[in-house]
């Protein structure tokens, strides 16, 4: 039976505490991971604990991490993540950007020496909930994407997230990988013995393929958004480079294309970037929010191609899932549940899920 | 024979002067349009004069426009474009953002009451040439894009442009429509009696199509980047909404989805958004540029899928075209040449092209 959000969150927290994470950090990290599961972003919630456990066992996570500001101005900061998991440094950094933007209107914070931080959307929402536009992006540890025309992995899924306040409770929230699809969706096709749709996958030689095993079993590649050169995959590829320039080059961490990226001893060394901007710099913030709400409403009112499938706006599907899961609990598949139970037992954490 | 850049630019300037544009504005507008043609962005250079002429004849362009700051802070400004063509207000706005970013590190400028401004890349390059990261975006006058799952045009090609300084003379410069392809590429397929590749075009009912006439002759739609729902066109759709929120909602102009968008008397009322950011806020700017250059170099060094087609970085193709056209002149097809000649003659401008 799906566990209630609070139980789900507490289970994650218990495991992090058992790993030796400080109480406040464990609470915040669990909150952020559970937020992803609540919103249906299952790839970035509890399921991440298996990867985090692996990093932890390799000595690559400083569980006692305390982010610190190493450089600062009224509009900016560079934060060192202290080689911990990324959630605490990332939330610290976006809160700092929000506080500065509340003072001067616009601020950006880069984070170095960090690790995976869960779903980008959580951080952009910290800005949105403060009435601000929020941008969140991060380098990725996995390197599975070949640049357009290439036959070598040089990029990650390199996510981009933009949020803006609009109608109360229904902000615009775009949180996207710059690849056509995530690895998990290709794996699902392989599990079902189905072909991958054209545009998802490249062979190890960089040729278009519909065989999911080219990525799941062989060293092929995920495509950049667009899928093929003909369908402008160089745009998704360019967006991925933009992400790595903002999150990687500004913070001074390694790029996915660097030899040894995310493989150094003592830390994963990912970089993040956050921007917060007050619409009040330009006009009445209430009028701005009204306009964003009107714009979103115009999209939702579009005549649908299929009458059974209304047009949605970025953030709508995740909010619908969150409403359902708040009521019905958060489902975890049996495979993942068994893995998490093993991790909990190995670290001496209590087991709270069914 | 292709005219030299200077002749090409002077021809554009002569037409703008004949229309009654102030000398300084005509010089800058011609410079920006010729920059696009030089870089192979033919859709945004001289070819725009036909559309501009149509707006002018409808009384929708204030040829004596003078952009003015209507709201300002150390990190921001709102500029009114005075209902002129967008080039002068846009360059004014990005220069203002650059000047502010040189003072405080980070600045954003929104423009309202403007019109088409040519190619985004020109403005991002104003930031890049000053050692800054530059972001440029704008609302579009044409409405040809249905949101994912929709059968009604609600969005434009809504471009996004991001530039960052790297190797001297070879910055990263991504300038992309958020659609799979531009209208012109669909029209070219129709002209050649070729099908459109899957993912480019939707029928007027919002169904995937490979018939370019669905867009060229019938009221079908361009797709958002991704092409189909299965290939994540909601990402391109989300990026387009982001563009309209930044360029439209912050400046307070109409959205492409508003009834009467770009159809009001007295002006087109497009909005723009510019952001400039100093990498020196976060680290040594020279080290940042070295890292961006290294990152770009790693991409170019990727093993290509086709040995004859090396992997490129955003900005490379346009720079190669510019080098060739500086040497060989700027080609203009006979059809466009005839149109421009007609416009020149009708307005009493001298004819300088072959």
Q: What is the pLDDT of residues A218-271, one digit of tens each?
A: 999 999 999 999 999 999 999 999 999 999 999 999 999 999 999 888 889 999
Closest Cα in chain B, distance from residue A232 (Å): 6
Which among B354, B348, B310, B305 is positioned nearest to B329, based on CA atoms? B354
Q: Hey, are the CB atoms on A73 and B105 less than 8 Å from each other?
A: yes
Contacts of A245 in chain B (CB under 8 A): 133, 162, 164, 172, 292, 295
**Mean pLDDT value across residues A111-128:** 98
Q: Are B267 and B62 in contact (CB under 8 A)?
A: yes
Residues A119 and A137: their CA atoms lie apart, in Å, by 10
Residue of A nearest to B243 (CA): A162
Return the minimum-mean-pLDDT range out of A54-63, A306-315, B131-140: A54-63
In a domain, B94, yes or no: no
**Mean pLDDT value across residues B339-345:** 97
Closest Cα in chain A, distance from residue B332 (Å): 24
Has residue B8 got a pLDDT over 90? yes
In a domain, A119, yes or no: no
In a domain, B69, yes or no: no
Q: Hey, are the CB atoms on B281 and A73 less than 8 Å from each other?
A: yes
Q: Hey, are the CB atoms on A306 and B149 less than 8 Å from each other?
A: yes
In a domain, B218, yes or no: yes
In a domain, A209, yes or no: yes
Q: Are B30 and B16 in contact (CB under 8 A)?
A: yes
Q: Are B56 and B26 in contact (CB under 8 A)?
A: no
Q: Hey, are the CB atoms on B149 and A311 less than 8 Å from each other?
A: yes
In a domain, A96, yes or no: no
Name the packing angle between helices A23-38 and A5-18 (round to 10°): 140
The single residue listed with the structure tokens 């900005």 is B315
Nearest by CB to residue B149, choosing from A152, A295, A309, is A309
Q: Hey, are the CB atoms on B147 and A299 less than 8 Å from each other?
A: yes
In a domain, B140, yes or no: no
CB count within 10 Å of CB B5 equals 17
Residues B218 and B76: their CA atoms lie apart, in Å, by 43
Contacts of B107 in chain A (CB under 8 A): 106
In a domain, B80, yes or no: no
**Mean pLDDT value across residues B273-285:** 98
Q: Specify the number of domains making up chain B.
A: 1
Residue of B nearest to A291 (CA): B249
Q: Which ipTM did the prediction report? A: 0.98
Identify from A80, A282, A300 which residue to disrupt to test chain B contact, counting B C-beta atoms within 10 A and taking the largest count: A282
Residue of B nearest to A108 (CA): B106
Contacts of A206 in chain B (CB under 8 A): 303-305
Closest Cα in chain B, distance from residue A178 (Å): 8
What is the phi/psi pair of residue A114, to 5°?
-120, -170
pLDDT in tens, A272-285: 999 999 999 999 99
DSSP-derived secondary structure for B271-284: EEEEEEE-GGGTS-
Nearest by CB to residue A104, choosing from B74, B78, B148, is B74
pLDDT at A334: 92
A-B CB pairs within 8 A amount to 274
> Helix, strand or coil for residue B174?
strand
Contacts of A294 in chain B (CB under 8 A): 255
pLDDT at B336: 93
Residue of B nearest to A280 (CA): B250
**A190 confidence band (pLDDT: 50, 70, 90):** very high
Q: Hey, are the CB atoms on A257 and B295 less than 8 Å from each other?
A: yes
For residue B214, the enclosing domain spans 187-222
Closest Cα in chain A, distance from residue B81 (Å): 14
């Amino acid at each position: 039976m799906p566990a209630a959000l609070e139980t789900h969150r507490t289970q994650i927290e218990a495991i992090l505490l058992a790993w030796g994470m400080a109480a406040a950090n464990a609470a915040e990290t669990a909150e952020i991971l559970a937020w992803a599961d609540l919103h249906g972003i299952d790839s970035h919630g509890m399921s991440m604990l298996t990867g985090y456990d692996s990093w932890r066992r390799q000595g690559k996570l400083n569980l006692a991490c305390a982010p610190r500001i190493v450089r600062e101005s009224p509009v900016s900061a560079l934060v060192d993540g202290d080689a911990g998991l990324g959630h605490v440094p990332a939330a610290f950094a976006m809160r700092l950007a929000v506080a500065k933007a509340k003072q001067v209107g616009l601020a950006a914070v880069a984070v170095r020496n960090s690790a995976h931080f869960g779903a980008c959307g959580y951080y952009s929402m910290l800005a949105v909930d403060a009435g601000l536009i929020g941008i969140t992006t991060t380098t990725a540890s996995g390197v599975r994407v070949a640049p357009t025309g290439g036959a070598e992995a040089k990029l990650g899924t390199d996510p981009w997230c933009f949020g803006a306040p609009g109608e109360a409770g229904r902000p615009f929230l775009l949180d996207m990988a710059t690849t056509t699809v995530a690895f998990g969706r290709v794996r699902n096709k392989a599990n079902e013995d189905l072909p991958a749709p054209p545009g998802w996958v490249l062979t190890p030689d960089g040729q278009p393929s519909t065989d999911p095993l080219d990525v799941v079993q062989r060293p092929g590649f995920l495509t950049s958004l667009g899928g093929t050169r003909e369908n402008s995959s160089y745009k998704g590829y360019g967006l991925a480079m933009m992400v790595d320039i903002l999150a990687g080059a500004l913070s001074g961490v390694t790029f996915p294309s660097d030899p040894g990226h995310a493989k150094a001893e003592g830390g994963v060394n990912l970089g993040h970037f956050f921007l917060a901007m007050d619409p009040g710099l330009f006009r009445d913030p209430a009028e701005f929010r009204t306009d964003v709400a009107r714009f979103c409403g115009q999209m939702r009112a579009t005549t649908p191609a299929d009458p059974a499938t209304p047009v949605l706006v970025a953030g709508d599907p995740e909010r619908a899932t969150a409403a359902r899961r708040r009521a019905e609990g958060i489902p975890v598949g049996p495979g993942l549940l068994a893995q998490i139970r093993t991790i909990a037992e190995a670290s001496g954490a209590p087991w709270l899920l069914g």
